[in-house]
A = this chain, B = another copy of it.
Amino acid sequence: FRESPSWAEADSLFSLSVESENLQKQIDELASFSDTPAPSVTRILYTDKDVTARRYVKNLMGLAGLSVREDAVGNIFGRWEGLEPELPAVATGSHMDAIPYSGKYDGVVGVLGAIEAINVLRRLGFKPKRSLEIIVFTSEEPTRFGISCLGSRLMAGSEALLKALETTIDNQNISFLDTAKSAGYAQDPVDLTSVFLKKGAYAGFVELHIEQGPILEEEGVSIGIVTAIAAPASIKVDFEGSGGHAGAVLMPYRNDAGLAVAELALAVEKHVLESGSIDTVGTVGILQLHPGAINSIPSKSHLEIDTRDIDEERRNAVMEKIRQSAIRIAKDRVVKLAEFKIVNQDPPALSDESVIRAMESASKDLKLSHKLMISRAYHDSLFMARVSPMGMIFIPCYKGYSHKPEEHSSIQDITNGVKVLALTLAKLSLK
């Protein structure tokens, strides 16, 4: 291939040696830092388990010869200085937080796989021209503070997030800034603008990730080359009714906030299906009733909606229909629509042509079957695309399962992904 220096002759490509067994061991070890029992994984931002897992990963980075630093919200950077360190670096990375009762591969493959990709290149004797960096992003999952891709969103310079973080609290009323401090970040004086990346800071960013969908496995393809990431949005809704005693308040006198929220959950499904496109999805993953007693009519209810599409306008149309339904339900049931808050409404992101070409060429060099595809899940890459040319490498996962304990990718598929990542980084580094 065009950029090939001596180290990367066709012959040596096949000798890209991934220490697969060791990598699997690391994946299993990292999964043990969890707040729920195996096989489930639960690792929430800034908890003890999260802090311990970070320590584990920083140690591996150090062993890989990377110089490690962290920013004010805990994004971790491990740098391999290139021969021309003044050039913008090439970066890779993913996240390692895990939503409640999820699995051990989401995010983790792109973190531990990136460290192993660096090790692969070192073992080959490769010398990067541009520096290579691994980034472990803080809180890709919205679990604790309701904010997805917290670390990468801030790196991408979100002023809205910067402002929101001043007052963000979790559901125990613990503030983001206090928890960040107690985990060793956001020390005084807090200047979160220090997290912002400069545009042009990176010449490219590549994220290795499990597909979280069934396509690669079903079609028997080893590598997915992501061309675009669907546009995600999320909404929080609160209804308030009158509550009361489940025996004594007769049906005509009820203003049941629980039934309002049940109706809205079904309306979400209805409006998503009305879009007519297979690419529109909507989910109610959180639904809470207050006071939550069997003999008490719910006086308050809360739900959170996640909706995505590869077509931003179509997704926005669904969101508007959901809003109209919330208003109508509140009116019909004589409950108050106390909140309808759009938490985020992000546009889709396109992968960069140069990064796509590097990933394709790496797959070809390695003789791995590959296909162009769309990412329906969002990733930190969605935000990295705002400040850097971006691309993503997908590998197959069992039945497309993700966000549950059954989530699994075979070590062979992970190994293939690490090889493609290593070669892609090498190619981009030499540009």
Contacts and interface: CB of A to CB of B under 8 A. Distances in A.
Contacts of A101: 290-291
A403 B249 CA distance: 11
A251 B295 contact: no
B294 A247 contact: no
B286 A292 contact: yes
A99 B213 contact: no
B286 A212 contact: no
B142 A295 contact: yes
A400 interface: yes
Contact of A295 (B256, B259, B285): B285
Nearest to A401: B244
Interface string A233-262: 010000000011111111111001011011
A283 interface: yes
A377 B248 contact: yes
B248 A259 contact: no
A28 interface: no
Nearest to A284: B258
Contacts of A314: none
A291 B99 contact: yes
Could you say how many copies of this chain the assembly holds? 2
Given A248-B400, A400-B244, A285 B273 contact: no
B287 A295 contact: no
A272 interface: yes
Contacts of A404: 243-244, 291, 296, 299
A281 interface: yes
Contacts of A281: 246-247, 249-251
Contacts of A212: 245, 247-248
Given A246-B403, A377-B247, A285 B278 contact: no
Interface string A174-214: 00000000000000000000000000000000000001111
Given A250-B281, A278-B252, A245 B402 contact: yes
Given A263-B266, A295-B306, A403-B243, A213 B287 contact: no
Contact of A293 (B99, B246, B290): B99
A265 interface: yes
A148 interface: yes
A93 interface: no
Contacts of A102: 291, 293, 296
Interface string A354-396: 0000000000000000000000111000000000000000000
A60 B184 CA distance: 52
Contacts of A296: 99-100, 102, 283, 285, 403-404
Interface string A89-104: 0000000000111100
Given A234-B294, A251-B278, A284 B259 contact: yes
Contact of A230 (B100, B247, B256, B266): B247
A299 B378 CA distance: 21
Given A212-B248, A243-B403, A248-B402, 14 more contacts: A142-B295, A243-B404, A245-B402, A246-B283, A248-B400, A258-B285, A258-B287, A259-B265, A259-B266, A262-B263, A285-B291, A285-B294, A286-B289, A297-B403
Interface of A: 99-102, 141-143, 146, 148, 211-214, 230, 232, 234, 243-253, 256, 258-259, 261-263, 265-266, 269, 272-273, 278-287, 289-299, 304-306, 308, 376-378, 400-404
24 contacts: A99-B293, A99-B296, A101-B290, A101-B291, A102-B293, A141-B295, A212-B245, A214-B253, A234-B294, A244-B401, A244-B402, A246-B281, A247-B281, A250-B279, A250-B281, A251-B272, A258-B287, A261-B262, A262-B262, A285-B296, A285-B297, A286-B292, A293-B403, A294-B306
